[in-house]
A and B are shown apart, each in its own frame.
Chain A
Amino acid sequence: EVQLVESGGGLVQPGSSLKLSCVASGFTFSSYNMHWIRQAPKKGLEWIALIYYDSSNKYYADSVKGRFTISRDNSKNTLYLEMNSLRSEDTAMYYCAKSAYRGYADYFDYWGQGVMVTVSS
């Protein structure tokens, strides 16, 4: 059974940093691209970052580019999201998601339960 378990969220002040983790199990983690997606309270879904299976490529949404860094440790089956210079608009539930790349298009076939990040003074 595929499982994705996020951790590391919490309440932080504007301008501070936080690092999220996502531990994967039930599939060959090192063979799949992985994503971070977030959802502000009562809002829709926003893709924010992608990392290739071998960390060779990383892509970011404009809203987080230059502030957030996605990384992974395939030996630990773990995905990370390092978030710096946090703003109130970064307040959201953060999900890690497994890539389901089919027919030259990327979808998300498994999601974690999410971890809440609240940025407030």
Chain B
Amino acid sequence: DIQMTQSPASLSASLGETVSIECLASEGISNSLAWYQQKPGKSPQLLIYGASSLQDGVPSRFSGSGSGTQYSLKISGMQPEDEGVYYCQQGYKYPTFGSGTKLEIK
């Protein structure tokens, strides 16, 4: 299985601040990487797929980048509604997820 190592485990940011979350794959995944946001008591929502493509309806302050084994999610200008847990997921082989990053407002 491909292991996904996500960091940091938790993060607090001020409103308007730019934040980044990292994901490292145990082997190359050819940009087959998605990011999801999960709010308390809700199911995850797809934000980014193919490492950098924005899912329909997702605000443009979310962006993804990376290649090979290293990927990142950036939120440009933290908003209150961005609080939640963020997961990366590789779709290159049988799907596996990162351990999650809890993002809170400072």
Contacts and interface: CB of A to CB of B under 8 A. Distances in A.
Interface stretch (A12-20, A75-83, A95-103): A95-103
A47 interface: yes
B91 A107 contact: yes
Interface of B: 1, 30-32, 34, 36, 42-46, 49-50, 53, 55, 87, 89-92, 94-100
B46 A107 contact: yes
A105 B91 contact: yes
B50 A47 contact: no
B32 A108 contact: no
A111 interface: yes
Nearest to B53: A102
A111 B43 contact: yes
Contacts of A108: 34, 36, 44, 46, 89, 95
A50 B90 CA distance: 15
Contact of A113 (B32, B43, B46): B43
The 8 closest A-B pairs by CB, nearest first: A105-B32, A105-B91, A111-B43, A47-B95, A45-B97, A107-B34, A106-B91, A107-B49
A54 B56 CA distance: 27
Contacts of A112: 43
B46 A46 contact: no
Nearest to B49: A107
A78 B80 CA distance: 36
A105 B92 contact: yes
A112 B98 CA distance: 20
A46 B94 CA distance: 11
A102 B55 CA distance: 12
B77 to A, nearest CB: 25
Contacts of B44: 45, 95, 108, 111
A73 B49 CA distance: 28
A59 B95 CA distance: 11
Contacts of B36: 45, 108
